[in-house]
Amino acid sequence: MYSYLSGDVLSRAGNFSLNSVNLVSYQGVDGTSQPYKLSITTLVTEINIYESIFNKTLSGNIVVTDATNIIATLPLTGLERVEFKLNTPGINRSFDFTEETGHPMFIYKLDKRQGVTPRTQVYVLHFCSKELILNEQTKVSRAYTGLQSDMVVDMIRNSDYLDSKKDIYVEETLGNHKYVMPRIDPFGGSDILRKQSRSKRFYNAGYHLYETSLGFNYRSIESMLAITDNIARPSVAKFSPGPSNVREGGNYDVLKEMTVVSDYSIKTQFDTLKNLRNGVYSSKLLAHDLFNKTIKEYNYDYHTEFAKSHHTEHGPNGEKSDMKFLTPLSKIYKDKFISDTPESTIYLYTNTSNLHSLEGPPIQDYVQKRLSQHLGFETYNLEMTVPGFTGLSAGDVITFIAPRYASYDPKDPLDRDPYASGRYLVSTVRHVISQIANKHTMHLQCLKDSVNIPYVAETVDTFTDREKSDNGVIDQYTLDDRLLNGLNSGNELFK
């Protein structure tokens, strides 16, 4: 979407178009069937909109500076809806919460109410998609047979459940299965399904259900990263830290300014202990079949499985990479690679066959693979602030250029960090629209599960027999007896 930006339409990075912000009461206008509608555009200080691949629906809040006591006069009760439309000038993709062309949001909470003058108060109105409210009011209690992706669509579309009229972008799942939903809310039911969903196109396991400005998405992480099994998904933008007010030939360059990072932080780059505990590098699955009275073991090896799936980084022609591991292929202790120790994480699952309520895929086809892939993304975590743009969504791929933080090296003309730079998956977007500053900014959380330049593989064991061998076992009682003898002999230490 960044390629559609035009400097003729977008005069400044951070510009936005916002129509009237209306509160729609649960009460109707006297004598009509129309609900009462009140514009609060001039009272709005700030609007925040949240979308994330980890959240089922859109949500947000509005900071209101109120000198007319709308809380009592409308009144506000938690049964209202809010309507507005936000977009970046020149871009069709928008957050359309209007009744005429979009989907209004539900006001569900008011908090942080405080007076600033005797006649003025400030408070925050929180809103969410209608589907989140209906999710709390409905339960799914029925049997499904077929594709997991079709089951999720039914729970979203069905008038007895979420009754959503929004578009749903679906990645078809693999295999026909049977589930009996045990009187569970629709999003809870989707969680059962998404954890076991396998892609028809990619070698992976585990899906995400989330909402963006375009509608709902039910897809795998690999679908976010790749178009086909052999072609990576293009990055939508390249961001890099730098000075604002970018000039080109003396003229303000709004298109370059849109990709300038004003602030960033790499929250985590690696956490070996966490990944070992969570089975990212290796694990053992114990599958217990009560019907056949069997227990089977399945070992997972990160370095062996890596090349079978797409990751944030790819090969030179967009193909899957086999060496851009999150952690190097190196021996660290007793001549073993870090992925050679399946006992580090043990999973115990039932794989009982011939169940009436569940005929899902075999657990060895999705449990270890899903947990390793999804938890691996928590390792490389980048946060940054960039100019606001309604064309960017959670689930998009972007490129980030990290500075080298070293003196210039002529052998490195790109002058960038070879590992932290590269492709990232945008997991969360927070849009901030400030009426005071008249500016739209975005706070992005971005994840990475591979490196741009492969780490060097190493077979030298860096720990075994390289430590001082004291082999000492010290008896604490013996030490205490010596101390006691010293005290009894007149030692003045504690007197």
DSSP 372-421: HHHHHTTTEEEEEEEE--TT--TT-EEEE--B--S---TT-TT-B-TTTS
Structural domain contains residue 6: yes
| Region for 379 from its dihedrals, namely left if φ exceeds 0, alpha if ψ lies in -120 to 50, beta otherwise | alpha
Residue with tokens 């039910």: 218
Backbone angles phi, psi at 12, to 5 degrees: -150, 140
Structural domain contains residue 480: no
Say whether both 180 and 200 belong to one domain. yes
Domain of 172, CATH number, reads 3.55.50
Structural domain contains residue 372: no
Say whether both 20 and 76 belong to one domain. yes
Residue that terminates a domain, selected from 133, 163, 196: 133
Q: Is the pTM of this model over 0.95?
A: no
CB–CB of 179/360 below 8 Å?
yes
Which pLDDT score is estimated for 289?
A: 86
Which pLDDT score is estimated for 250?
A: 61
Q: Residue 103's closest CA among 111, 93, 95, 115? A: 95
Which pLDDT score is estimated for 334?
A: 83
Which pLDDT score is estimated for 273?
A: 92
Say whether both 55 and 176 belong to one domain. no
Which pLDDT score is estimated for 494?
A: 55
Domain of 74, CATH number, reads 2.40.10.10
CB–CB of 361/206 below 8 Å?
no
pLDDT tens for each residue of the chain, 495 residues long: 788 788 789 989 999 999 999 999 988 887 677 899 999 999 999 999 999 999 999 999 999 999 999 999 999 999 999 999 999 998 999 999 999 999 999 999 999 999 999 999 999 999 999 999 999 999 999 999 999 999 999 999 999 999 999 999 999 999 999 999 999 999 999 999 999 999 999 999 999 999 999 999 999 999 999 999 899 999 999 999 987 776 666 677 888 899 999 999 999 999 999 999 999 999 999 999 888 888 999 999 999 999 999 999 999 999 999 899 999 988 888 888 899 999 999 999 888 766 666 778 889 999 999 999 999 998 899 999 999 999 999 999 999 999 988 888 887 777 899 999 999 999 999 999 999 999 999 999 999 999 999 998 888 887 887 777 777 888 999 999 988 988 887 666 555
The CA distance from 142 to 182, in Å, is 7
User: Domain total for the chain?
Assistant: 2
Residue that terminates a domain, selected from 115, 133, 151: 133
Which pLDDT score is estimated for 247?
A: 66
Say whether both 26 and 103 belong to one domain. yes
Structural domain contains residue 302: no
Q: Which H or E run contains 122?
A: strand 120-128
Which pLDDT score is estimated for 246?
A: 63
Distances in Å between the Cα of 219 and the Cα atoms of 72, 172, 193 are: 44, 8, 12
CB atoms within 10 A of CB 490: 7
Domain that holds residue 217: 139-229
Residue 191, CB-side half-sphere exposure with 13 Å CA sphere: 10
